[in-house]
Structure 1
């Protein structure tokens, strides 16, 4: 599977630890995407757990790069409602805010900026507002975050459909 992802035009990475409550949102989105209607052949979904940094580093080195990387994670945003979903622009993430984002420990922010600035890869980051993360092992999503899973999947499918509509309609004449 890992070798195959380097051939895809679109990669969707679910970040998080399903043993830590709402932090398991990213992996649950991947599970839901893979269990629903098939995605186009040029799309691969991968539950990367807390290893996103290692995988992103590989994309700085490989010759063939995807057109689109979608990263799905959970975070806490003061004032936001649990289960609310957001898109974060990589360019807008201030270095001072690095500790506020999970993306599994967001020094990944610098790597995301490098990928966006030094390649033609479009990097999109989608997050959900958590109800807070437990201090010990506590598997399972809270109700508001679980309810956001199909909403996030729909948003990702819409993005894929918009982005790759031309390739889906292209075919032998």
Structure 2
């Protein structure tokens, strides 16, 4: 089964870059494989959506603001729990699309090929100031996400 791993975030907005940080770390850790696709989604997702065709599993990583949890708190949940309904609004700006909107469009594009197995990792953040350094708490949470994903992928290989 092919797995797509997608990291979202803005690398010049401090802790918002955690999804990109995870993707960078996974690229160092994972061997080249035809079964794993790693996407640096940045803040623009739409152009990558067609690349998800043929993947049976999607793993997403992003930051979450206003969670009322301490910075660095890690959440793992199925995408359905936080996914927005598909949007037909032509005013959705494609360069500002978030992953939940991207998934709603992906579902419309892929239809029957839309994977059932979609997991989301969210890291609680506060700082989205214009700076390139992430806080230690968020970086530690990002490292935990990397370990969780590596364990998840190794379990997929065993099963």
In the alignment, which of 55, 61, 86 is matched to residue 72 of structure 1? 61
Number of paired residues? Answer: 149
Secondary structure in 1 aligned to 2:70?
Answer: coil
Q: How big is the shift at 1:110?
A: 2.1
Q: Unmatched 5+ residue regions in structure 2?
A: 86-95
1:89 Cα deviation from its structure 2 partner: 2.2
TM-score (ref. length: structure 1): 0.71
| 1:133 aligned partner | 128
Which of these two proteins has the greater Rg computed from alpha carbons? 1
Name the Cα RMSD after superposition: 2.9
The 2-side partners of 1:94 and 1:152 are apart by: 20
Paired residue secondary structure (2:69): coil
- List per-residue Cα deviations over 1:7-50 (Å, max 9, x = no partner): x8111111111101111111111111122353655212221211
Structure 1 pair 95–41 and aligned structure 2 pair: CA distance change class (3 A): closer
Partners in 2 of 1:37 and 1:128 — Cα distance? 22
Matches within 5 A, 1:113-124: 114=108, 118-119=112-113, 121=115, 122-124=117-119
The SS at the match of 1:107 is helix
Which of 127, 146, 149 aligns to 1:153? It is 146
TM-score (structure 2 length as normaliser): 0.77
Question: How is 1:19-168 mapped onto 2 (pairs within 5 angstroms)?
Answer: 19-36=12-29, 38=31, 41-56=34-49, 58-59=50-51, 62=53, 65-93=54-82, 95=84, 104=98, 106-111=100-105, 114=108, 118-119=112-113, 121=115, 122-134=117-129, 137-166=130-159
